[in-house]
Amino acid sequence: MTHTPEAPGSEGSDTPNLDFAGTTPYEDYVQADVLTHLQHPLSDDPGEMVFLVTTQVMELWFTVIVHEWETAAGALRQDDIPVALDALRRSTRELEALNASWKPLANLTPAQFNSYRSALGDGSGFQSAMYRRLEFLLGDKSASMLVPHRGAPRVHAELEKALHEPSVYDEVLRLLARRGLPVPREVLERDLSTKYEPSPEVEAVWTQVYTQGDHHSELVVLGEALTDVGELVWRWRNDHLVATRRAMGSKVGTGGSAGVAWLEKRARKNVFPELWTARSHV
Interface with ligand HEM (CB under 6 A): 54-55, 58-59, 105, 108, 124-126, 128, 131, 240, 243-244, 247-248, 253-257, 259, 262-263, 266
CA distances from 13 to 7, 10, 16, 17, 18 (A): 14, 10, 8, 9, 12
Task: Give dist(CA 34, CA 169) in Å, integer.
Answer: 36
Smallest distance from ligand HEM to CB 240, Å:
6
CB–CB of 146/163 below 8 Å?
yes
Q: Are 187 and 201 in contact (CB under 8 A)?
A: yes
Please tell me whether 63 is known to bind a ligand: no
User: Is 254 a known ligand-binding residue?
Assistant: yes
Within 8 A by CB and 6+ apart from 196, the residues are: 139, 140, 141, 167, 169, 170, 190, 273
- In the complex, what is the shortest distance from the CB of residue 86 to ligand HEM, in angstroms, rounded to a whole number? 26
Q: How far is CA 158 from the centre of its chain?
A: 16
156 vs 269, beta carbon nearer ligand HEM: 269
Residue 117 annotated as binding site: yes
Between 206 and 272, name the residue whose CB sits nearer to ligand HEM. Answer: 272
* 135 contacts 238 by C-beta, under 8 angstroms: no
Output the smallest distance, CB 181 to ligand HEM, in A.
Answer: 31
Rounded least distance, CB 278 to ligand HEM, Å? 25
User: Which lies closer to ligand HEM via its Cβ, residue 222 or residue 243?
Assistant: 243
Q: Residue ranges for the binding site?
A: 117, 240, 254
| Binding-site positions for heme | 240
